[in-house]
Chains A and B, each alone.
Chain A
Amino acid sequence: MTPLLLSAYTATTCLGRGLDATRAALRAGRSGLIPCAFESVQLDTWIGEVAAVDAEKLPQMLADYDCRNNRLTQMGLETDGFAERVRQAIARYGKARVGVFLGTSTAGILQTELAYRRRDPETGALPDDFHYRRTHNSFSLAEFTRDYFGLEGMAMAISTACSSSAKVFAAAARQLALGSIDAAIVGGVDTLCLTTLYGFASLQLTSTHPCRPYDAARNGISVGEGAAFALLERADGAPAGSVLLLGTGESSDAYHMSSPHPEGLGARQAMAAALRAAGLTAPDIGYINLHGTSTPANDAAEGKAVSALFGDRVPCSSTKGATGHTLGAAGAVEAVICALALSDGLLPGSPGTERLDPAIPVDYLLQTRAGQARYVLSNSFGFGGSNCSLIFGVAA
């Protein structure tokens, strides 16, 4: 594919708001996970909660969008000057030529969960102040973002569970290649809700410890939340040192709804497709940001796929021990972490992981270290067997 410029990017997770907080935490090997005290949830698990989300006030005109997920969306957009960069792009290209491609797994379903506690005792009706379209629907964060900037062009939400906001890069890249848009707001936002916390617990996939990706004793995920965005544009004349999207690869496991293919076959196909799209081969890659959820099955399957393609020579890590698993936002959060790895010359470590699983033969980074990768790859896999790999590099 033709390289695309990430002309602006930002991430907000439990590590903090914005790039500086994220890079400081990555450098220090700090985790943002805390014991779960979210809402009325009573589960023995750890979560990655973003501070002060509910203090965020939406503009009066967009009041119907008010819910935790759109509050975090706005918070993310108004970080690192991202919204200003979007407005500059709109001024350059026009409001019908900037597309919106955002990933989520649950959007604002928390709003519906809360509304179900307030049903009319006589009729069972949901309260009048509950706005399904603007909060619950999977499109709500994309429509909110489109309206926030007064855009008039194409928009879509991609919802393939935990690969959602990696796949947005591929969808936006196609439209940029076609010339149907000149810039794209890509990203992902997912927020804590009861469906995912109790849901992952029901599958026995949440850990009672902070998650420990690729650890021999790993026993589940820590659910997190986050908002991460990038502005994608054509890369002609990109300043040296800017971060580029070089390749995307998508595949399906065709195996099981909630377990990965045990040999990581789909994962391997996605990584191979991303390499092909980027015109690179495995030895070119200098760092892999693993999906690394910290479930026994995911890390084993992904590890097999990575070692089959890359052997044990590429430094790799999951950053979910730092951020938690931000689900539909994970692809975009980890794309931004890859951008920081490239711009700052750092290879992130894996807080929480202590004793590596000896059955997984990869070069796993426990501690953050300095290192300038030329090309980095990020993996995102989701329920339903949805896989996406992205490759980023730096403009010469």
Chain B
Amino acid sequence: MDKIVRVNMSTLTSSNESVPEAWAGLGGRAMTSTIVAEEVPPTCHPLGVNNKLVFAIGLLSGTSAASSGRLCGGAKSPLTGTIKESNVGGTAARQLARLGIRALIIEGMPPGDAWYNISVTKDGITIQEETALMGAGNFAVADGVRARYGDRVGVMSVGPVGEMRMALANISVRDPEGKLRSMGRGGLGAVMGSKRIKFIVIDDTGTPAAVPLHDPEKFKAAGKRFTKTLQEHPVTGQGLPTYGTAVLVNVINEAGGLPTRNFTQGQFTAHDAISGETIHDTIVARGGKPKHGCHAGCVIQCSQVYNDADGKYLTSGFEYETIWGLGANCCVDVLDDIALADNILDDIGGDSIEAAVMFGVAMEAGVLEFGDGKEMCRMLREEIGKGTPLGRVLGGGAANVGRIYGLTRVPVVKGQGIPAYDPRSIKGIGVTYATSTMGADHTAGYSITTNILNVGGHIDPLKKEGQIELSRNLQIATAAVDSTGMCIFIAFPGLDIPDCLAALVDMINARFGISLTMDDVINLGKYVLKTEHKFNLAAGFSNEHDRLPEFFSLEPLAPHDAIWDFTGEELDTFWNF
């Protein structure tokens, strides 16, 4: 029987509850946001005893549905002060699903100074003091936990950055090969660190291989249709498996939307040196893997394994936003420096997007030179990773650095760094950055699909027309997809091939023996956004925070001389639903 597990770090006890009726239809982001909104006081201190860290599997986690392995984490964010949801690939979602755990809620805070680990098995939860792995980077933690508990266990951990409760901190999740995926944005690693949990180990030994299905035949049939759409669509069937997300470097550069030199230019002269095409060729030449899945059962496999010049592992999950940020935004054109920085961020446990925006601001502040990839890596390892006073400043994120160095060109919304698409020349994503409950978040409503990629139609990125409606529809749909445990990339076939989302709904119905319609799924997405918005308003946010930084309205961006010209009144119409 499915359950909700609570771990109370104040009393170091745990308890199981059956899934309340009101939560029965929830999964993923719908589950985490509902629980955070119900149980976390919106005005609490995010690093304090009253915040909760909630992990939730999706509605289709643990099934054979293709690309269904995402795990969601939620809390009040120490970076933004808003509600936060962040999701991740890796093995944990499937393992928790097999254990019948729909949500794992971590509450309270330990007395004293000790640190702990949490062990999750079919026999229950064990909370134990942890000493041996304290201070260790996430790679050593993953190896150490497997040595201690067995080779197949799932591991969720914080690195030194999370231990030190920096707003940059992420949570790492072990992937099928023992490398790392990240629950990246919003500082959830700091929440885990504030509750003094170094790692959570998940062992699903002794559980049935598959989660129960109400109608296995119907599920299988719908699953086949769904997988076919993923394979048929050129983005998920060919583009992403071949080149990964880094293929976007040249596209966004061509469109004049590649933020360069801390968002002062829209194109990077050295774009080809850091492009997806160059990365693909480098990977192949060095014996890495140009195609790699972050979780078992993914048919898209957009990840990759990137080796160094000696053919040894350097990094995986080398994403467009990371390459954009540590590359073009910081004017670094040496791919191996960017890859090393990505690897260090995995190890110390920091969000690569926030770090990239932060370094752009730090370079403008003169803390290090634009283009100095080696110094960037040194600062990650020796300052942020070791918690020096400078490291603490940098580890507080882009807004923090901007404030301390007295800068105006600080690209953040609600305190979170703006990712790899300039809102002046791609206005649809600008609306998402401004209005998302998550702060500046590109995945929350990925308008790039229709503004640039011609998926789901086309809307001119340089004009305001149609952008608010586009962002609204995408944000609603994304909130729904985030609740299923599916990878958001199913949205590419979802936008173009009608049977994709129809098959998804059929799978959900066959799993639970219910009769949802597409309208129900849309309504779930609306409910999630409204729940999150309500929390944010109660936390002290208003419509005045659904805005971009002033400099986007003042500084035209080459090559299109583009300016951000949405009024506040126009942006406020986003919430008209």
Partners in one complex: no
